[in-house]
Amino acid sequence: MRDELQNKAAGGRFTAPENLHLTLVFLGERDAEQSARVKAAMNAVNMYPLHITIDRVGRFKRGQSALWWAGVRENEPLLNLHHNLTDKLVTAGFELEKRKYSPHITLGREIVTKEPPWAIEPFSETVFAVELMKSEHIHGKLTYTAVYKKN
């Protein structure tokens, strides 16, 4: 989908294949003590295998460009995991975004194309672990690194 979008676009910043991910909770920049509390919250939540289905391509328009995404079909286990993790993080003292959770995988930002979102054949994956990720620019390239993993 990312490659198809890139072929249809006149420009934009496309997510590197190794950076494609589904965010459960966005935490922003955190120090070592806060990261330890995040790990404790992750450990307190049951991370059972999740079955997710990617079922659509969409965009959030921003002027002449847009953020494009692959939509993850909402399902009860995914929403429960998000809710339980969020509750543990709030109890641990974190202030989190208030907007409704909209599970998606970002395909690209500032995408310029006249093409509308297109239909896809839904496909499913099983998720066996959740990772706490660190993002940083290394040699000018955005790089995500797992700093903790919970099965």
CA of 62: how far to CAs of 59, 110, 111, in Å? Answer: 9, 8, 9
* Rg of the chain over all Cα atoms, to the nearest angstrom: 16
Q: What percent of the chain has pLDDT over 90?
A: 85
Kindly report the average pLDDT of the chain as a whole number.
94
User: What are the tens digits of pLDDT across the range 55-78?
Assistant: 999 999 878 789 999 999 989 999
* Structure confidence at residue 23 as a pLDDT band (50, 70, 90): very high
pTM (2 decimals)?
0.89
Is 104 catalytic? The answer is: yes
Residue of 21, 82, 83, 137 marked active site: 21
The torsion of the CA quartet 71, 109, 14, 27, rounded to 10 degrees, works out to: -70
Question: Which domains are delineated in the chain?
Answer: 2-150 (3.90.1140.10)
115-118, Cβ contacts within 8 angstroms, sequence gap of 24 or more: 115/8, 115/9, 117/56, 117/57, 117/58, 117/59, 117/68, 118/4, 118/57
What whole-number distance in Å separates Cα of residue 88 and Cα of residue 86? 5
User: What are the tens digits of pLDDT across the range 92-125?
Assistant: 999 998 889 999 999 999 999 999 999 999 999 9
Is 51 catalytic? The answer is: no
Q: How many CB atoms lie within 10 A of CB 57?
A: 20
* Structure confidence at residue 3 as a pLDDT band (50, 70, 90): very high
Q: What percent of the chain has pLDDT over 70?
A: 100
